[in-house]
Structure 1
Amino acid sequence: MHTFFDQPDLLPGFADANRPRAIAAGIDPFQYDAVTVELTSIRDWPTAFARAGREHLARAEQADEQGLSASASEAYRDAALWFHFATVLPNPDLGAHAAAAKASADAQRRADPAAEHITDPDFAGILRRPTGIRAPVVVLIPGMNSGKVEFMPIADSLLRRGVAVLAIDGPGQGELATRSHWEPEYQKVVHRVLDVIEDRSDVDGQRVAAMALSMGGYLGALAAAHEPRIRALVSVSGPSALHWDQLAPYVTDTFALRTGSATAGRDFARGINAAEIAPRIAQPMRVLDGGLDVIPGVANAEPLARHAPNAEYLLIPEGNHLLETTRWKWLPDTADWLADHLRK
């Protein structure tokens, strides 16, 4: 069995494929190019990205000491992103992975003093609220190897529209990646998230929606099928089905790492069936795909929209996975769509 790291000449294509993802998350494109061009092996990726994270962390701490709060916040946010992207490989060195994930979470906690960091047995989250109002909430759900830190620009867009955002890491995701394994019944995670939101007085726990991305697009749909408290759902580049034997080693190795074994990973993949759960999603749902998002073994999200009773499907022909290269074509309108449904 070939693993991800056994593939020849892997580095250039991997760096190119992840460039839009990193830039969309907020990493400076010039620094990304400067770091990746110096790599001679894909195995050097985690070390190089963690080194860049430490450089930003040092700048942040220096700015903190000088009382330069804006510069410190920006540098902490950069550090959190670089540490996060050090974890996107299916790295068998779990110690290094855990250290980078912890460093990312710690830096993110220091990046935005106004944000609240929620620690729960079932998830970790960052709650950001508009000032002066008791706002409705959108829950951001990450995917296969993403995490709450990666979608802060999306959170910014929602905040500008008067919506609070709770970005989460569920079991096996983000800062919890090496402390737990994925939960195939992800609706249980979201159920707990909604309970926490409902118990708060500073947000409107009766008006909650979700935006779910990549594999999270399926996890969010699964949650909506079980949770009527979710008023509306946006699913971006979520799979409707996975065919294990056709998946690339990057995906199968990541599944094995995040579930605990290749057998568990295969079982998790086989359990993804959007056409089966879609008829139970009564809420308004917007499903988005990119026409250039072609991943071996992954069926796109069109069946999710087709089988759901109250869904719309938007295909952006020139869009990549997560539509990062065409964000201006869908995010403003989709953020408005969510805000509008939360006002009803």
Structure 2
Amino acid sequence: MSVEEFVAANFTRATGAGLDPHEYQRVTGELASLDGWGEAFVRAGRSHLVRAREAASPISAGEHYQVAARWFHFATLAPQAGQALAAAEADAAMGRALAVLEPHARRIEGPGFTGWLRGRADSPITVIVVPGLDSSKEEFHAVTSALLRRDVAVFAMDGPGQGALASTSTVRPDYHQVIGRVIDALGVDRVRLVGLSLGGYYVAETAAWETRVAAVATVSGPFRLDWDGLPTPVRDLLTRRAGGARPARDFARQVDLSTLAPRITVPLLVVDGGQDLIPGVTNGERLARLAPHGEYLLVPHGDHLLGNARPDWLPATADWLSGEPK
């Protein structure tokens, strides 16, 4: 994939995650090849760290730390050295942001997971936000913010092979084991889940096994993966996150909700973009159809993660997760 194609393919994902579109165009416009992606994005992130240190108010400082975290996270998307350092910088910048903007946010860690618990401590609803193959807890701030505005407690996490844990762990198809430990650590009786991209599979798989899940929403999640049909960049990414070609193939073979979907007896909302056409990844319509209480929301013009169509799904999905799903 050329640098121009990569920049275009990640535009709505980046802007949907909160990067300023004009700054994104300036940073990527200077790239001669993908080899410079990580360095350029890290440099942009560090420029916001400087602005945070020079800010006239704590709020401005915290906002710059938040933006820096997103730039550092997006530095990890291109396959090159330094990804672990960029992920660590994203993690640290997010911690600085929350220390200023949300001092009551709590870092919670355990075997195979780490993340931030945000929102009112006595909220009756807790939602766990689960990222995908190359995303992290720093990416889906719009989802988290929408839920926080609805008075929901939110745990944004990294799991095996994700974000801060990507350099020390590999992806696993039985993600419900990790979510179970997260629920234990949160100390709540019931949780709701929202998973994005591959995270959609993770939360659906969890809902089929974990009895403490009260409701689940998937956004651009695969129903099944076909290894041979996946584009080369996706296969390469999965190979890195799985720790080799053979475990990547094994992982892909197990990502299949055909038999698990009927076991999801809690309310389920499946959100898809009609322009999300990644070869080798089947869409979520079948998941919604096979689950006993599945609903399907298709946004015809939405792309993968629907960063180009946020008003068409995010408010409704946040309302669904924070209300009383039927």
Determine the structure 2 residue equivalent to 1:45.
Answer: 37
Equivalent residues of 1:129, 1:135 under 8 A apart: no
Partner residue in 1 for 2:223: 240
**Residue 34 (1) aligns with residue 20 (2):** no
SS of the equivalent of 1:241 reads coil
| Alignment match, 2:106 | 116
Which amino acid letter does the alignment assign opposite residue 174 of structure 1? G
Per the alignment, in what secondary structure is the counterpart of residue 167 of structure 1?
A: strand
CA–CA distance in structure 2, aligned partners of residues 109 and 293 of structure 1: 32
Residues 261-294 of structure 1 deviation map (CA, whole Å, 9 limit, x = unaligned): 0111111111111122101100000001111000
Counterpart of 1:84 in structure 2 is 73
Q: Could you tell me how far 1:121 is from its partner in structure 2?
A: 2.3
Matched position secondary structure for 2:182: helix
Q: Which one of 251, 265, 290 corresponds to residue 282 of structure 1?
A: 265
SS in 1 for 2:271: strand
Q: Please list, as runs of the form range in 1=range in 2, the aligned pairs for 1:1-344 lying within 5 A after superposition.
A: 7=1, 10-63=2-55, 68-91=57-80, 93=81, 96-113=82-99, 114=103, 115-130=105-120, 133-198=122-187, 205-341=188-324
For the 8 Å contact 2:130–2:195, the answer to whether it is kept is yes
Q: Which runs of 4+ in 1 moved over 4 A?
A: none
3-state secondary structure, aligned to 2:108? strand
Hey, what does 1:201 align to over in structure 2?
none
Query: Distance in 2 between the 1:121 and 1:106 partners?
Result: 20
Of residues 18-27 and 111-120 in structure 1, the stretch that sits farther from structure 2 once superposed is 111-120
Aligned partner of residue 166 in structure 1, secondary structure: strand
What stretches of structure 2 of length at least 5 have no aligned partner? none
Partner of 1:4 in structure 2? Answer: none
Conserved? CA contact 1:135–1:162, under 8 Å: no
**Which sits farther off after the overlay, 140-149 or 297-306?**
297-306
Q: CA deviation at 1:228?
A: 1.5
- For the residue of structure 1 that corresponds to 2:275, the secondary structure is coil
* Contact kept in structure 1, 2:301 and 2:309, CA below 8 Å: yes
1:165 partner letter: V
Aligned match of 1:202 = none
Shift of 1:206: 2.6
How big is each residue's C-alpha offset from its partner over 1:31-77, in whole Å with a ceiling of 9 and x where there is no partner?
000001110101110111011111111221233xx6x2011101101
Instruction: Compute the RMSD of aligned alpha carbons.
Output: 1.4
Residue type of the alignment partner of 1:108: M
SS at match of 1:148: coil
Q: Give 1:318's aligned amino acid.
A: H
Give the Å deviation of 1:135.
3.6
Aligned residue for 1:298, secondary structure, equals: coil
- What secondary structure, in the 3-state scheme, does the structure 2 residue paired with 1:134 have? coil
State whether residues 83 and 103 of structure 1, in contact with CA within 8 Å, keep that contact through their aligned partners in structure 2.
yes
**Quick one: distance in 1 between partners of 2:166 and 2:227?**
21
Q: CA deviation at 1:341?
A: 2.5
Paired with 1:279 and 1:82, the residues of 2 have a C-alpha distance of 39
Partner Cα distance (1:238, 1:40) in 2: 33
Q: What is the percent sequence identity of the aligned residues?
A: 48
Aligned mates of 2:64, 2:135 — CA distance in 1: 20
2:170, 2:316 → 1: CA distance?
34
Q: Secondary structure at the match of 2:260?
A: helix
Please state how far the C-alpha of 1:197 moved relative to its aligned partner. 1.4
How far did 1:214 drift?
0.3
Instruction: For residues 99-122 of structure 1, give each alpha carbon's deviation from its aligned partner in whole angstroms, at most 9, with x where no partner exists.
Output: 100000000000012222222222
**Hey, what's the Cα distance between the residues in 1 that align with 2:83 and 2:321?**
34
Q: Is the Cα–Cα contact under 8 Å of residues 113 and 178 in structure 2 kept in the other structure?
A: yes
